[in-house]
């Protein structure tokens, strides 16, 4: 927020607007990091994620349930 709110923030566009800014171009990465880091810390604290392979298995398990939805959206588009 400190880099997008000020008029001359580094994540604003050259024109000083939020539209078309580096912030909006990388919003997916920001959201991923915003949820991935707390999820990993929670998994470490609870003990469900002991190695990096556990993180990969958890991510692949959650994405495997989205396969049918992705196919449906692809053909609906």
pLDDT in tens, 25-57: 778 888 999 999 999 999 999 998 898 899 899
Q: Interior CA angle at 18 toward 12 and 24, to 5°?
A: 90
In eight-state DSSP terms, residue 16 is S
Overall pTM > 0.85: no
pLDDT at 16: 67
pLDDT: which is higher, 19 or 61: 61
19: left (phi over 0), alpha (psi -120 to 50) or beta: beta
How far is it, in rounded angstroms, from Cα 35 to Cα 48?
Answer: 17
pLDDT at 17: 65
- Which of these ranges, 12-21, 26-35, 40-49, 68-77, has the smallest mean pLDDT? 12-21
**Average pLDDT of the chain to the nearest whole number:** 83
């Amino acid at each position: 927020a400190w880099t997008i709110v000020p008029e001359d923030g580094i994540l604003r566009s050259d024109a000083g607007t939020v539209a078309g800014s580096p912030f909006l171009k990388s919003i997916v990465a920001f959201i991923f990091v915003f949820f991935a880091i707390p999820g990993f810390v929670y998994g470490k604290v609870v003990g469900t994620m002991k190695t990096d392979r556990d993180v990969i298995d958890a991510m692949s398990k959650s994405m495997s349930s989205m396969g049918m939805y992705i196919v449906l959206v692809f053909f609906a588009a």
